[in-house]
Structure 1
Amino acid sequence: MNLTLTVMEIVAPVFMLAAVGFTWVKLGFEYRIQFVTRLATTLAVPCLIFVALMQTEIAGDDLGRFTLATIAANLALTVVFWVFVRVTGIDQRSYLSPLVFGNTGNLGLPLCIFAFGQAGLGYAVVFLSVTALWSFTYGIYLFAGRGSLGTVLRQPMVWATILGAVFLWQGWQTPTFLTNGLELIGQMAVPMMLVTLGVAVARLTPDKIGKAIWLSLIKLVVSFALGWSVAILFELTDEAFGVLVLQMVTPVAVTSYLLAERFGADSNAVAGMVVTSTLMSVAALPLVLAILL
């Protein structure tokens, strides 16, 4: 009973805020998703990442091991699903990116904060940063057929990660007034991302649901197995173990749909995976948390 209550306390706020965005749009109210997304990704999330890294109390060895584990897990996921796509013959351009990239920002960060506290946030932003770099390079390559190093270098999240890592490494701290301001801006990120997630799902027009269901299920099972295996292999601590597995099993990222739409891939198929995997996560994430806690 206590475990069930704990899991509900973690999951409920996440889906409540997403439901606010979903309901807001369904009621016909205006929501400028491009503006909010830009505000979150260029200001709120970078502030959140920088302050979280600067203030993290995670030991250097643990943080380094977790970073290597994150890189290994993402590479393993990419290789496994690349082989899967080639063997099954499904369209690599449309399906490989949603199979590889999870919603580690909008959904992963809040879940890790609620489940593992400040230490979980420190690990979660490292995972988000690694997957963001991979998404802005390999992810764009999958849809567009070319890399985008310039896109990576223009992302404030990348520079926030680098700057935060330098401050962490050197043990530096910004002045209190600046830290408080940055922290306040960063606190906007979580609710904005969750409400925007609900808005994005509400506006999607999913197609090919049958294929999306079984692909989303395969993504969930494979991601969980790989995350668990990598966490054991790298002998991660309890919080790091939980964050790695939790971030690995997040549903398909909405950015995969946006990139498919932008570069002319089968965006309806990707939208179907976003919707089905997100709905599937309503039942799956509490189960994963119950295993981890």
Structure 2
Amino acid sequence: MAAVLSGFTIIWIVIAVGFLLARFRLVPADAQRVMGLLVYYVGLPSMLFVTVSAADLGDVLGVQFVIAALSAFATLAIFLIVARFLLRGRSASELFVGGVSSSLVNSANLGFPIAAYVIGDLTFAAPVLMFQLLLYMPVQASILDQLGRQDAGPRGRSLLRGLRQSAVNPMILGSLVGLAFAWQGWSLPEPAQESLALMGGIAIPLALLAFGITLASSSPLSRSGGRRRDVLLASVLKLGVHPALAYLLAAFGFGLDGVGLLAAVVMASLPAAQNALVLALRYDRGVVVARDTVLVSTLIGVPAMALVAVLLA
């Protein structure tokens, strides 16, 4: 449990720095958007390539990968179905960002320390991270590309042109090139590899700083934001429904028990990832929902994961 608390402490320290930077006006008003764009166009693609290209695909594309994928897509679908009836006046892009916030877990910041110290095996975090980096986030970015163009106005663009624009999405390119390198066993010259690793290293801290900056100019779950129901729905799905789906899939769909079952459920009970906010900032849709869902789920994530660990240990 100390590792879980340590992981959350690290996150909140960086978020607090971003908050203080904005509160004392040490950064411009639009700093969080600039940071989000840097993460989206530079940090995440570099991190995707470095992570995917170095992975042993045979080890990580197994049962835990499948459980992570099915439970995440199911949670996203449930959010969109429920939101259709409960949440009115939202664009398709904003609703989709809400679904992303309810199903994208903080595998980078918290997944590995929790896997090491709560589950007892670091490798259990790899399938979740690989699913999100290799498949889930690129798919989300591609869909938001399409929805963003629809929200913007005329729909006369051809499907082929839309697919071509999505294909050059930086996260998709980073994932696909990394996959090709891992599959073929290729490697870059050391200076190029180190440069990409260095640029990939900005993704997590800048995402956290951007999150803190957004908090300085708003009140989480405030009525004035007009998105309290969205945030509560996304948070309940993230910390309740998502782990429950993972449990059902692991226990009854794949017959897992013991450490395997614990790993599947604990990984699904991780709080929402800051990358949900990165996507929201990039497409300028659902920023309030993404920010507040990350905040709420991170605040109550420790007791939620502790409860899961106690029940399944």
For the superposition of Structure 1 and Structure 2, which TM-score range results when normalised by the shorter chain? Answer: 0.7 to 0.9
Aligned residues of 2:46 and 2:200 also touching (Cα < 8 A) = yes
Q: Who is 2:131 aligned against?
A: 126
Q: Who is 2:140 aligned against?
A: 135
Relative to structure 1, the CA distance from residue 181 to residue 105 in structure 2 (aligned partners, 3 Å threshold; closer, same or farther) is farther
Structure 1 Cα separation of the partners of residues 191 and 33 of structure 2: 30
Structure 1 Cα separation of the partners of residues 283 and 36 of structure 2: 17
TM-score normalized by structure 2? 0.72
Aligned residues of 1:54 and 1:167 also touching (Cα < 8 A) = yes
Cα distance, 1:29 vs. partner? 1.2
For residues 139-158 of structure 1, the aligned pairs below 5 Å read 139-141=144-146, 144=150, 148-158=162-172
Aligned residues of 2:232 and 2:293 also touching (Cα < 8 A) = no
Q: Who is 2:82 aligned against?
A: 84
Q: Who is 2:197 aligned against?
A: 183
Aligned residue type for 1:186: G
Structure 1: which 5+ runs fail to align?
none
1:253 aligned counterpart, secondary structure = helix
Relative to structure 1, the CA distance from residue 237 to residue 167 in structure 2 (aligned partners, 3 Å threshold; closer, same or farther) is farther
For residues 254-265 of structure 1, the aligned pairs below 5 Å read 254-255=277-278, 257-258=280-281, 261=284
Cα deviations by residue, 1:150-176 (Å, 9 ceiling, x for unpaired): 442222221111121122222333333
Deviation >6 Å, runs of 4+: 103-106
Q: Who is 2:225 aligned against?
A: 207
When structure 1 is superposed on structure 2, of 59-68 and 27-36 the one drifting more is 59-68
Structure 2: which 5+ runs fail to align?
117-121
How many residues are aligned here? 282
Aligned residues of 2:43 and 2:202 also touching (Cα < 8 A) = yes
Aligned residue type for 2:226: K
Relative to structure 1, the CA distance from residue 183 to residue 285 in structure 2 (aligned partners, 3 Å threshold; closer, same or farther) is same
Relative to structure 1, the CA distance from residue 238 to residue 227 in structure 2 (aligned partners, 3 Å threshold; closer, same or farther) is closer
Relative to structure 1, the CA distance from residue 22 to residue 229 in structure 2 (aligned partners, 3 Å threshold; closer, same or farther) is farther
Q: Who is 2:73 aligned against?
A: 75
When structure 1 is superposed on structure 2, of 98-107 and 170-179 the one drifting more is 98-107
Cα distance, 1:41 vs. partner? 2.0
Cα distance, 1:194 vs. partner? 1.3
Structure 2 Cα separation of the partners of residues 226 and 283 of structure 1: 22
Structure 2 Cα separation of the partners of residues 277 and 24 of structure 1: 22
Q: Who is 2:119 aligned against?
A: none
Q: Does 1:16 align with 2:13?
A: yes
Q: Who is 1:245 aligned against?
A: 268
Aligned residue type for 1:85: A
Structure 1 Cα separation of the partners of residues 23 and 143 of structure 2: 34
Cα deviations by residue, 1:186-240 (Å, 9 ceiling, x for unpaired): 2222212211221233345751265345324433322232244344435595796
Aligned residues of 2:19 and 2:209 also touching (Cα < 8 A) = yes
2:187 aligned counterpart, secondary structure = coil
Q: Who is 2:293 aligned against?
A: 277
Aligned residue type for 1:110: N
Relative to structure 1, the CA distance from residue 187 to residue 181 in structure 2 (aligned partners, 3 Å threshold; closer, same or farther) is same
Structure 1 Cα separation of the partners of residues 264 and 297 of structure 2: 19
Q: Who is 1:226 aligned against?
A: 245
Aligned residue type for 1:79: A
Aligned residue type for 1:208: G
Q: Who is 2:182 aligned against?
A: 168
Aligned residues of 1:49 and 1:125 also touching (Cα < 8 A) = no
Q: Who is 1:37 aligned against?
A: 36
Cα distance, 1:140 vs. partner? 4.8
Structure 2 Cα separation of the partners of residues 242 and 165 of structure 1: 27
Structure 2 Cα separation of the partners of residues 185 and 133 of structure 1: 19
Structure 1 Cα separation of the partners of residues 132 and 241 of structure 2: 18
User: Matched residues, percent identical?
Assistant: 19
RMSD between aligned residues: 3.7
Relative to structure 1, the CA distance from residue 99 to residue 60 in structure 2 (aligned partners, 3 Å threshold; closer, same or farther) is same
Cα distance, 1:12 vs. partner? 0.8
Structure 1 Cα separation of the partners of residues 48 and 284 of structure 2: 28
Aligned residues of 2:47 and 2:196 also touching (Cα < 8 A) = yes
Aligned match for 1:196, one of 188, 203, 210? 210
